[in-house]
Chain A
């Protein structure tokens, strides 16, 4: 299972990657996560790879092999689209952050939707510190982990505001779940769900 998480430095992308990875480890998978520190965190474009399976080799997701592309920002979703499989699931927040010195592409939301992206409304989140737990909650129904595993991972990953993080995660999880079921006829999601059901999960583990 290959997850690509991207966005803008400072949005909490690395923590989201850590949360998914810890949850995968607690659920007995082999996990690898790869990211880059230093310059990349000063408001630049940030990408993190999380992979889990019975055995993971490469720490990075090869181009075109991402099962899920999760973007915290719309322009970044477009930038890293090449990592997503043809039948992969693309999810992006509806946040726009203009890059310094260039204009923001117009109609990006429609463009992403045309490419099959699910656009998550994140503008209602009052405190952007919880964007990462909300959005991770949003994709959590697509991943083969139990809810209590997620909650104990939150306890391990966050040192502050654990209750708020849990609540935001659960809110994201509910919103995600209802959206996927509203779109229950979305072939891509059903296929994904099948891929992650029963025997498939055992095989992965």
Chain B
């Protein structure tokens, strides 16, 4: 069953990510139903907007428990942008609020010695081997749009960083849980490469 569950918790603009999944011939379903999620081979947690609102949406739909259960069963989970931030313990955006706690650490505002939000194409610097980044190389450009960044508690979780005043974790993972701070679906051919890696891992 090579279908991906895109978690539906009321965030908009999933069109591009859906189209890119289709481009690499991955079947997807937009859902918040636990049985459907359980039947899928992998989970994609999207996200734009603010952490607090998103985490409230996730909790109110019971998705936090579903996602934690799926993670503990070893299912591959990928969070993109805010979806990646939600994998962490907590965020300071709009006051402290709690995430899924699947990767240890917190999410905080990018220090304002640089322009915030961080918008545009920035280069990846691989820090650890990661299957998601197979065929990618240091200096490959991907597209970022965010004001907050993840601060993982353990540096083993950081697989790639990008330089923006500070080193911002761009790819994080722990066991079967992965997160991208950038948008693969907006990152042209590099993004497409990463989606192909994702497909190999999902199947």
- Bound pair (A, B): no
